[in-house]
């Protein structure tokens, strides 16, 4: 039985939302990612799988933001950070209920390694971005040329059920997505490259 499902994520992240909201981690890396994305005045920015929306504090006040997450409990926490120009919607990143080409930029922080279908998420992000739009990805990835050892494979069995997949390769996700997204920047972010920041551009 597959444990990583949309329903399971909706339940588990709603349950842990009060704790998750109090834990601020990778703040420097999140700020770096958003700085590399370079949101500009008047742009529309989409936060996918935003959790309690800690990233809002790192975004300039002169952009319009839609905060989304699959877990209602997370969005309830995120709404506490409401400000002018920010709206909220419970939404699955793999099935965005949004019109085509309506956002200038998207932020995907610590979401692709969690969701059941990350390739579908990137296809949806590409669909809602305007041509030339950008997406910032901060997540844990196995190097594209690497294969997980037995120990890492075993740890992932537990890790994926409880929290996150540690063996996904971004190159595989992009290939499966077959979306018009190009890697324009890619740099290690933390733990010796275990976390990476990648900037994608919609062609």
Q: What six digits make up the tokens of 84?
A: 């002018």
Cα separation, 52 vs 75, in Å, equals 6
SS3 186: strand
Confidence at residue 122, expressed as pLDDT on a 0 to 100 scale: 98
Whether residue 184 lies inside any domain: the answer is yes
Domain total of the chain? 1
22 lies in some domain = yes
CATH number, domain of 129, equals 3.40.50.150
pLDDT tens profile 160-178: 877 899 999 999 999 999 9
The pTM for the full model equals: 0.95
Residue 103, Cα to own-chain centre: how many angstroms? Answer: 15
pLDDT band at 3 (very low <50, low <70, confident <90, very high): low
Confirm whether 157 is domain-assigned.
Answer: yes
pLDDT tens digits along 26-61: 999 999 999 999 999 999 999 999 999 999 999 999
Q: Tell me which H or E stretch contains 129.
A: strand 129-140
- How much is the pLDDT for 66? 98
Query: Mind listing the pLDDT tens digit for each residue in 71-123?
Result: 999 999 999 999 999 999 999 999 999 999 999 999 999 999 999 999 999 99
Range of the domain at 34: 6-202
Contact 71, 9 (CB under 8 A): yes
Q: How far apart are CA 158 and CA 144, in angstroms?
A: 22
> Can you give the pLDDT at residue 8?
86
The candidate with the shortest Cα–Cα distance to 12, out of 92, 81, 60, 72, is: 72
Query: Is the distance from CB of 126 to CB of 177 less than 8 angstroms?
Result: yes
pLDDT band at 1 (very low <50, low <70, confident <90, very high): very low
Res 95: pLDDT: 97
Residue 25 phi, psi (nearest 5): -130, 155
The neighbouring-strand residues paired with 186 are 198
């Amino acid at each position: 039985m597959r444990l990583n499902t949309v329903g399971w994520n909706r339940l588990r992240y709603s349950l842990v939302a009060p704790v998750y909201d109090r834990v601020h981690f990778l703040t420097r890396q999140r700020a770096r990612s958003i700085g590399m994305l370079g949101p500009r005045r008047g742009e529309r920015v989409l936060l996918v799988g935003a959790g309690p929306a800690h990233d809002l504090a790192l975004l300039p006040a002169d952009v319009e933001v839609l905060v989304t997450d699959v877990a209602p409990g997370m969005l309830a926490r995120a709404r506490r950070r409401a400000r002018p120009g920010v709206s909220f919607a419970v939404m699955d990143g793999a099935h965005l209920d949004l019109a085509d080409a309506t956002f200038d930029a998207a932020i995907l922080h610590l979401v692709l390694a969690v969701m059941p279908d990350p390739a579908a998420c990137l296809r949806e992000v590409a669909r809602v971005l305007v041509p030339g739009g950008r997406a910032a990805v901060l997540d844990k990835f196995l190097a594209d040329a690497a294969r997980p050892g037995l120990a890492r494979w075993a740890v992932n069995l537990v890790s994926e059920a409880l929290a996150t997949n540690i063996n996904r390769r971004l190159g595989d996700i992009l290939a499966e997505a077959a979306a018009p997204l190009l890697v324009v920047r890619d740099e290690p972010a933390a733990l010796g490259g275990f976390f990476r920041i990648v900037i994608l551009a919609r062609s």
